[in-house]
Structure 1
Amino acid sequence: MRELREPNDTMTALVEAQDPLRVAVVDGAARWTYGELDATANRLAHRLTEAGVGRGDVVALYAGRSAPTLAAMLAVLKAGAAYLPLDPDYPDARVRFVLEDSGARTVLVPDELRERLPTVSTASVLSLDDDLSAYSAVNVKVAVDPMDPAYLLYTSGSTGRPKGVAVPHRALLNFLIAMRDLLNSGEDDIWLALTSLSFDISGLELYLPLVTGGRTVIAEPAAARDGDRLAGLIRAEGVTHVQATPSGWRVLLAAGYADPHVT
């Protein structure tokens, strides 16, 4: 496990340092190694850089949980920008407001969701399904300050208009290092990615395994709502860590799930 050594380290640097042959992400039948995840993220980062994306920019992600989405999140960070997750299930009015308010200059979206994306004239749209094989798989050379924003999240807006909150690289890295030490995380940990990307705590289940050489198992939306399928996924992939809302745990418990070895 690579230790935090330099004050300017980032979360992506720790991911890049993992064994490229180990499985990093499981997404249905797809099993991506660290090498494949990093290469995919690097190619997209080069694509974003070519499009003019850089430090201080915001790139929106209109997508659900998937291995390509996770690679896209890493790609935006590698390009020096901040990503803004947008839940496709949110009302169009909220999505449009957040895009305009954040000043996002680019939106990444899979082809299957392109027609659902509300039109915003200030942002260009890039497909997550584009062929990026012509782009380099090596790391993008972009200097990132620890206080640069890594991602933006918007509040629910229940007391008025949603408000954007920027989380800097230093805060993200400090959180992951603290949780790594608290949970004694390592290569044998397998986390279930169950939380919407628009919720801050999703970063724990997505990134903590990746900075410790472990594995992230992505739960598709249908499985997240089906206790039997979710329990089956946990057992099949040997998941060691699950975090869920009370309603999520009720779904699992109602399906008869109980495993003392899962934390």
Structure 2
Amino acid sequence: MLLPQLLVSAVESAGDAVAVVEGSRSLSYRELDAVSSRWARWLIGRGVGPGDAVVVAVPRSLESVVVLWAVAKSGATFVPVDPGYPAERVQFMVADSGAVLALTVASVAQVVAGSAGSVPVVVVDEVSVAAQVRGLSSRPVSYADRVRSLEPSDAAWMIYTSGSTGRPKGVVVSHAGVGGVIAAEREHFGVDGSSRVLHVCSPSFDVSLLELGVGFSAGATVVVAPAGVGGGPDLADVIASQSVSHVFMTPGALGSMDPAGLDALRVVVVAGESFTPDLVRRWSVPGRRRFFNAYGPTETTILATSSAELVPDAPVVIGSAIAGWGRSCSMSGCVRCPRVWSVSCMWPGRRWRGVITVGSG
């Protein structure tokens, strides 16, 4: 399943349900589909499509979700860039990505423009731009609307990791492996239409795509944490006030909060760092709140493994290969993982080798 298909899969069945909420603002699935289709058409009208990279330097918000949907629908590659990063890092990421366009918002536009070099910068909440978008059709974007055909081998997103030398390394993930990983983990973590999934991970941390993928594909409500909130009492307040049922975050962020009073929270998934059994003891409540550990380098389409439920006083493990991904294969120059298939990267001008997740059969 291609990324745009995955994102809109619940629009028909849950059109009037709340898709995303940020504070007092919200959009239903039907509204999110409509506004993102207009933005996708605006991108397509400027020749943007499959094979093009679009930098998205928008702080976590309702707008960042809309822009992600729009870029995905256009068929272009989503390149998340945190505008809070040092200017030198942002400059490198924008230039190295080969982006044809950078999207941002007024609050950080000056910073982004100063780091974009020759890449055109569009401020999505600028009055004149918003007026252009409102005048476009909101009907669903189809293959016939795109400037080029969108294929499973095309890049869905490109995320920069720190790299082994400390220099950012762009990792391209194709559409081919996304649907399987999202479907497997949605079932594993019990995300359904009644769930309220927290969106708190940095857009430069690929688990943010897991938050959005499992939430939207299930017809759940995605709760967006304010951009400046990443842990501690402020994040706990968001989880409590918004009755969040599922969280995906680093152990450090989880450990900064007190679990008391988070009665609606049913599933906790940690990834990205090691942790001690004490974190499990604090957060796992067998029969009421389940605790999972997940692991995987960015090259393996978000995750390589996820654990069964971890309970207090039991060993902390990273688990086994994600359900449905049991067949091993030959690796050449890539991460040593039995769940991925080494393929030549299709990104123009790149010489490293990428990976796509391989299903059984």
1:122 aligned to 2:150?
no
Residue 89 of structure 1, CA deviation = 1.4
Residue 46 of structure 1, CA deviation = 0.5
1:108 aligned to 2:103?
yes
Q: Secondary structure in 1 aligned to 2:157?
A: strand
Match of residue 210 from structure 1: 216
Matched to 2:256, the amino acid is: V
1:177 aligned to 2:183?
yes
Matched to 1:245, the amino acid is: T
Q: Deviations over 1:39-87 (max 9, x none)?
A: 1110110000111101100000011111111111111111010110001
Change (3 A) 1:99 1:29: same
Match of residue 137 from structure 1: 138
RMSD of the alignment, in Å?
Answer: 2.1
Whole-Å separation in 1 of the counterparts to 2:3 and 2:181: 15
Matched to 2:266, the amino acid is: V
* Partner residue of 2:77 out of 62, 75, 82: 82
For the pair shown, the structure with the greater C-alpha radius of gyration is 2
Matched positions, count: 256
Q: Deviations over 1:9-36 (max 9, x none)?
A: 8323424444211000011110110011
Q: Which has the higher contact order (CA 8 A, sep 6+)?
A: 1
Q: Secondary structure in 2 aligned to 1:174?
A: helix
Quote the sequence identity (%): 33
* Residues 56 and 79, structure 2, Cα contact 8 Å, conserved in 1: yes
Match of residue 199 from structure 2: 193
Residue 207 of structure 1, CA deviation = 2.1
Residue 158 of structure 1, CA deviation = 4.9
Unaligned runs of 5+ in 2: 144-148, 268-361
Structure 1 length normalisation: TM-score? Answer: 0.90
Whole-Å separation in 2 of the counterparts to 1:144 and 1:200: 22
Q: Secondary structure in 2 aligned to 1:249?
A: helix
Q: Secondary structure in 1 aligned to 2:159?
A: strand
Matched to 2:141, the amino acid is: V
Structure 2 length normalisation: TM-score? Answer: 0.66
Match of residue 342 from structure 2: none
1:67 aligned to 2:72?
no
When you count helix as a share of all residues, which structure comes out higher? 1
